[in-house]
């Protein structure tokens, strides 16, 4: 006897609480195998194919492409033990308390938070008994909706429209920051689940209502109303990668008392050294790799900058290794892939890893693990044709080095005016972890290595 199991959006890790459905890989009525990818979703960090831990026939899908779902919301239902779709007009099979053994009861090799691994597929999750009366739909039986897990209720009792349910912590925070009482909202999700779009719509509605008197007065005076209320204004959802960047940078500015110092450096010798290294044959060495080697050496001399601040413990945590993030611009926006154990890599290995992660960023295949865990960030904004900038620290790191474009400029070299390849270096640092002397010492060391690469050889 087939058993209908509900597969919910799993916890994708790294603190992600929601994902947007990009593309369904299966249709209702399709037969799926254990661990077969069923949907492609976009999180704030990467595109992810989600595998289903159950094998059987897809009986229902929840959410259209472009819909944003919180972790724990239903994705689809699968009739485990069924080899083909239920006939039109048929009733959904009754869910047994103890499922029968079937070929689908094979272990899954994937780890999905909330589903485990290695257990029979039909036994990974205890399914709530459905109501005896279950409506049917063509080609597949409908399934009685099941409330999403880990539901936080805004109040302890049900109102006239039922209890208020919120899954995402981001939704609760958004409501709290805008002074919005969740009990006044009607959720558009399943079982009245309040989604972020519901809160955002309520916030916009409240803002519009607050502006109405002012708009009426303005119109009476013969002038145009609020620009944001005009019908030709384009609104872009602040979500996905753009939303994640906004949250991280806002948190950085809010929590970190940062300061920036900068210096111009003569990069002529560094460029010549790179040319000589690449002329010797073998894999090409990138300029970013050489700058990374210099940063790693500088952090070994000034470990205060390779740290983070634990506010709860009121401690500065100095980290033993350097996981070097680097800013990369992609079609999906700004991403910061992380090169693991950069302090153990040579210039050739760093070049290869930079190239791999950059290509993955452009193709949208970076994993959440590729984008987290950095301890220091290198930002080469010179590729955009600008000389300088004041980097914003990639929270929770303590510093970021920015590198401008390298261009010919007049420069005093060996007592004479000459045209040299000059670059501006900027260091933004968390003033809680060190003072200006440490930051200046690190930046001066980096500049010295850029101007005379032999300095790096002496300190390795």
Q: Which residue reads 């760093």 in tokens?
A: 350
The upper half-sphere exposure of residue 349, i.e. CA atoms within 13 Å in the direction of its Cβ, equals: 9
Give the burial string for 325-351 (b: 16+ CB within 10 Å, else e): bbbbebebeebbbbbeebbebebeebb
Bridge-partner residues for 20, per DSSP?
A: 42, 68
For residues 20 and 65, what is the distance between their CA atoms, to the nearest angstrom? 8
Q: 38 is written with which tokens?
A: 């069923």
For residues 48 and 403, what is the distance between their CA atoms, to the nearest angstrom? 32
Angle separating helix axes 268-279 and 287-301, nearest 10 degrees: 120
For residues 264 and 243, what is the distance between their CA atoms, to the nearest angstrom? 34
Strand runs labelled E in 92-177: 136-137, 140-141, 152-153, 165-166
DSSP letter for 36, please. E
C-alpha closest to that of 143 among 41, 61, 228, 223 = 61
Phi, psi of 440 (to 5 degrees): -65, -35
Q: 324 is written with which tokens?
A: 């070097």
The upper half-sphere exposure of residue 388, i.e. CA atoms within 13 Å in the direction of its Cβ, equals: 14
For residues 58 and 29, what is the distance between their CA atoms, to the nearest angstrom? 5
The 3-state secondary structure of 177-197 reads HCCCCHHHCCCCCHHHEECHH
Q: What is the dihedral of CA 125, 198, 244, 240, to 10 degrees?
A: 80
Angle separating helix axes 347-363 and 287-301, nearest 10 degrees: 120
Asked about 431 being catalytic, the answer comes back as yes
For residues 398 and 86, what is the distance between their CA atoms, to the nearest angstrom? 58
C-alpha closest to that of 310 among 396, 377, 392, 394 = 396
Of 302, 395, 413, 431, which is the active-site residue? 431
The upper half-sphere exposure of residue 243, i.e. CA atoms within 13 Å in the direction of its Cβ, equals: 19
Distance in angstroms between the alpha carbons of the first and the last residue of the chain: 68
Helix H segments across 221-337? 240-255, 268-279, 287-301
Active site residues: 431
């Amino acid at each position: 006897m087939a058993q209908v199991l509900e597969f919910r959006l799993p916890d994708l890790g790294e603190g992600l609480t929601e994902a947007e459905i990009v593309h369904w890989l299966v249709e209702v009525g399709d037969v799926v195998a254990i661990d077969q990818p069923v949907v492609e979703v976009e999180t704030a960090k990467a595109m992810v194919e989600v595998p289903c831990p159950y094998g059987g026939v897809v009986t229902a899908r929840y959410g259209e492409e472009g819909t944003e779902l919180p972790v724990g919301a239903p994705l689809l239902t699968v009739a485990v033990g069924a080899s083909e779709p239920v006939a039109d007009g048929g009733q959904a099979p009754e869910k047994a308390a103890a499922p029968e053994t079937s070929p689908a009861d094979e272990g899954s090799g994937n780890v999905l938070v909330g589903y485990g691994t290695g257990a029979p597929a039909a036994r990974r999750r205890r399914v709530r008994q459905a109501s005896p009366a279950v409506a049917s739909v063509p080609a597949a039986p409908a399934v009685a909706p099941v409330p999403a897990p880990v539901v936080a209720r805004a109040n302890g009792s049900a109102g006239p429209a039922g209890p208020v349910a919120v899954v995402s912590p981001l939704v609760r925070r958004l409501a709290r920051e805008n002074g919005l009482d969740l009990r006044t909202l009607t959720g558009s999700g399943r079982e009245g689940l309040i989604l972020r779009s519901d809160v955002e719509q309520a916030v916009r509605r409240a803002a519009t209502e607050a502006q109405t008197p002012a708009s009426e007065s303005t119109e009476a005076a013969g002038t145009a109303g609020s620009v944001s209320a005009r019908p030709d204004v384009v609104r872009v959802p602040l979500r996905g990668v753009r939303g994640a960047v906004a949250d991280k940078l806002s948190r950085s500015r809010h929590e970190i008392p940062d300061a920036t110092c900068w210096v111009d450096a003569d990069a002529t010798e560094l460029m010549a050294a790179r040319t000589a290294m690449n002329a010797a044959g073998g894999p090409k060495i990138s300029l970013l790799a050489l700058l990374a080697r210099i940063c790693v050496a500088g952090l070994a001399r000034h470990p205060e900058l390779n740290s983070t601040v634990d506010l709860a413990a009121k401690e500065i945590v100095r980290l033993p290794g350097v996981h070097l993030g680097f800013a990369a611009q992609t079609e999906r926006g700004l991403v910061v892939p992380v090169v693991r154990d950069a302090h153990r890599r040579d210039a050739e290995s760093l070049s290869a890893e930079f190239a791999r992660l950059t290509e993955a960023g452009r193709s949208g295949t970076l994993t959440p693990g590729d984008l987290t865990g950095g301890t220091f960030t290198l930002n080469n904004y010179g590729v955009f044709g600008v000389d300088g900038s004041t980097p914003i620290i990639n929270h929770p790191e303590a510093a970021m080095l920015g590198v401008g474009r390298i261009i010919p400029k007049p420069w005093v070299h060996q007592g004479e005016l000459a045209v040299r390849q000059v670059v501006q270096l900027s260091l933004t640092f968390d003033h809680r972890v060190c003072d200006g002397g440490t930051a200046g010492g690190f930046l001066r060391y980096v500049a010295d290595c850029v101007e005379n690469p032999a300095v790096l050889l002496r300190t390795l």
